[in-house]
Amino acid sequence: MWLETPLRLLFQTSGFRLALRSLGLSLGGAMLVFFIIHHAEEFAWRGQIDDAVSGGRNDILSDLQHNKLPVADNVGLTLAEGGGLFYADIGTDGTWRAGNFRLTPALAARWNSMQTWRRQDGLSVPAHVRALRGVPQHFADGETLFIAADATALLRLNELIAQSFLAVFGIILALGLANGYFSARATLARVDKFGATIRDIMSGDLSRRIEMSAEGDEFDRLATSMNAMLQRIQELMENLRQVTNDIAHDLRSPLARLREHLELSRTRFNAPGLPEMFDEALAQLDQALEIFAAMLRIAEVEAGARRAGFAEVNVSALLVMLEESYEPSLCATGIALHTEIAPDLTLRGDRELLMQLFANLLDNIALHAEGAANASITAAARDGRIIVTVADDGSGIPAAQTGRMIQRFARLDSSRHRPGHGLGLALAVSIATLHEGSLALEAAEPGLRVIVSLPAPG
């Protein structure tokens, strides 16, 4: 797959561009280091050569003053003594008169200071000497004496540094490009895996997840977030399918009965029981409309539009009011309501929706807590949260079913003959989520415990 990847795509990856930037910084650093090394080494060598040349010039000027001989004769004496320096005496007419190297008139005219000249620039020197560095000494009569030292070592040093720089530069460039290339291929390989997983999901396989590596890099962090998103999408899609099935199940019966009543009404237009049949048809329609109204209510809450009207709500006072409202009706069914509510529990939220949340929980006890004798409401602040627990000791819900029962239209088979549409808990969950809280069901054995966690101010 990598070999089939166009180079254009490799060069466009962020990994390759990052490698190029790193390569540029590395090359810049190498150039700076070589420049410093070259400058320091060349400065040291030039200093040694220049010191030797300056010493030779001072010696010959001293000899000229002491010996009172012509320049050419002094050059001969100096060369006879040795010392390793090079001398060239040029007369006033530009001709060479004495010394151990020669230079062209053009070069002599251009040699005005301490300079380095190569053999091919016009020097005539021994074969082992490739360059000279020296200074001219002009005399009042127009005669010029050139004093120089062998600069072959300096020339070789410059060539060695240049060759080393080119070698290191080439190695860094090759390694940088190779690093960018392989980094780009690795990046594209990970991206291709992401793309393959996403295409499988688009094809309908919602169970696919992005493969994680052991490196823990930014791709793994992205994959973790995407896998969590895919898990949520899968849950929502499964919930949607479940909702669709439950809607079909719950609406089929009232609509079928409605059609049957209307059919009978058409055939028995003058029958004595016709008003009762129309009343039954209206009741079936009301039941269907209640289901749709509850679904619209849940959609409104999940859309978050009510968050704009949040204000401070005294949860303690709200629960006390619900206790006073529900205690008579629960007692009428044989259920004693007990409360333990901490005072002054407040939060920012929608009071009407919070009342709906807790009212739905109490309605579920009244309608579905078969065999219950006691119900309770407890509320307290804990770890910066307001924890409200609504419990009963009735038949409860199997532990394996608690997660499913907060979904829309989810009902136990044993409770389908009772009033309700399976939307009360789903609406309660949506309200808790709107308030940045949570709702969980726990099997109490006996009974059921519903735990609502809501954020406290600050």
* Beta-bridge partners for 337: 375
For domain 307-455, the CATH superfamily is Histidine kinase-like ATPase, C-terminal domain (3.30.565.10)
pLDDT of residue 420: 53
Question: What does the chain come to in residues?
Answer: 458
Q: What is the mean pLDDT of each run of 10 residues along the chain (458 residues)?
A: 52 68 78 82 82 85 80 75 81 84 86 84 85 87 86 84 83 80 76 80 75 75 83 76 63 69 66 66 67 62 64 91 90 90 89 87 83 89 91 78 60 50 76 87 83 84
Q: Among all chains, which residue has been given the structure tokens 């300079």? A: 115
Q: Among all chains, which residue has been given the structure tokens 């251009």? A: 110
Which residues in the chain are classed under CATH 1.10.287.130?
A: 234-303
Q: Does pTM surpass 0.85?
A: no
pLDDT of residue 2: 41
Q: How far apart are CA 139 and CA 57, in angstroms?
A: 13
The residue type found at 348 is R
pLDDT of residue 33: 81
* Beta-bridge partners for 89: 98, 145
Which residues in the chain are classed under CATH 3.30.565.10?
A: 307-455
β-pairing, 374-382 with 336-341? Answer: parallel
CA separation, residue 96 to residues 74, 91, 110, 125, 231 (Å) = 15, 6, 16, 14, 95
The residue type found at 434 is L
CATH architecture assignment, domain 234-303? Orthogonal Bundle (1.10)
Q: Is 140 helix (H, G, I), strand (E, B) or coil?
A: coil
pLDDT of residue 249: 62
Query: Which residues, in sequence order, are CB contacts of 15 under 8 Å at separation 6+?
Result: 180, 183, 184, 186, 187
pLDDT of residue 267: 66
Strands (E) in 102-143, as ranges, are 102-103, 115-118, 123-124, 131-138
Query: Which residues, in sequence order, are CB contacts of 421 under 8 Å at separation 6+?
Result: 250, 287, 290, 291, 294, 409
Q: Is 412 helix (H, G, I), strand (E, B) or coil?
A: coil
pLDDT of residue 247: 63
